[in-house]
Structure formats: C-alpha cells, structure tokens
Copies of this chain bind each other. A is one copy, B any other.
Amino acid sequence: MTSPSAVVDTRWLTEPEQRAWRAFLRGSRLLEVALDRALAPLGTQLSEYEVISMLSEAPSQRLRMSALADLVVQSRSRITHTAARLEKRGWVVREAYLDDRRGVELVLTDAGRAALEDIAIRHVESVREALIDNLEPAEFLALGHAMQKVRDALAEEGQATDAFGI
C-alpha cells in the first residue's frame, strides 16, 4: 500500500502547523453549525440564504444557475435542488434564458425579497456574535485576506464538471 519513500517524503505538519490546522478545521465547523442554527428558526439554511442573497444583489434580482453555482460554491446538481426548494417556498422562480436556450435564470420574487430581509438581519447578527466579535478588527480582516488567497488558488482548479472535480 504505502511505498516506503512516501512515508519519508511526506512533509508532515510541524507542531505549530498542526495546531493551526486543527484550530481552523474545528473552528470553522463550529462556526457553520452556529450560523445554520441561527437561521433554522426562520426555516432556512445558510446555503439557501446565500443563494437569495446573491440574487438580491444582482441586476434585476436574477442570475443564471451556473453563475449562482460558482458564486456560492455549490455543484450544478446541488444548485438545482436548492433552487427547487426555494421555488416551492415561493421565494424564487425559474425563467428561461433567451440568449442561450440551454440556460435558466433564477429570479427573486417579492416574497423572497421579504423573507430575505428578516433572514439577513438574523444572519448578520450571528456572524458578528460567532465570528467578528471574537476577533480584533484587524485580525478578522487578515483572516478574510488569507482566505481570499486560498479561494483564488482553489477556484481555478474547480472550473469543471458537475461536481467541481476533474
């Protein structure tokens, strides 16, 4: 299974790296749980909120499925299912995209806009409580800056199939 050299060649994490990595992994897990739980009473999920939030900022409150998928980091198939749920709730409607007849646009409805207002408030509160208020302002901005670098690096590769991969 393991080639002898592989074990040796591996650049194992140093102690401080190990600690940093675990703090990141567990911290971000706890964070996502906290944010999702904040929205649960409103009948939504963070990933759903992200979708309607992106729609609300787009010109004419509409975006193509694929653009949306890339923005919120969901696979094509996942965004289809997410959209179906939002549509059933009346927050969103699908519309044919005329310039490219393969395309579909997702459009925020008035009901969706209304729901978004409440959800956004709760969401921002929870982001402050769980994340921002626990850090120095500069620390938080540095965090964002670092993660933007990671995002840029990973975004390129992920330009592919249904499920991001190859």
Contact = CB atoms under 8 A, between A and B. Distances in A.
Interface in A110-166: 114, 117-118, 121, 124-125, 127-128, 130-132, 134-135, 139-151, 153-155, 157-158, 164-165
Interface residues of A, number: 62
Given A21-B131, A147-B24, A33 B73 contact: yes
Contacts of A142: 139, 142-143, 146
B121 A7 contact: yes
Residue with the highest number of chain B CB atoms closer than 10 Å, among A16, A37, A143: A143
13 contacts: A1-B117, A7-B117, A10-B124, A10-B125, A20-B147, A22-B144, A24-B131, A27-B151, A30-B155, A33-B164, A34-B157, A37-B164, A37-B165
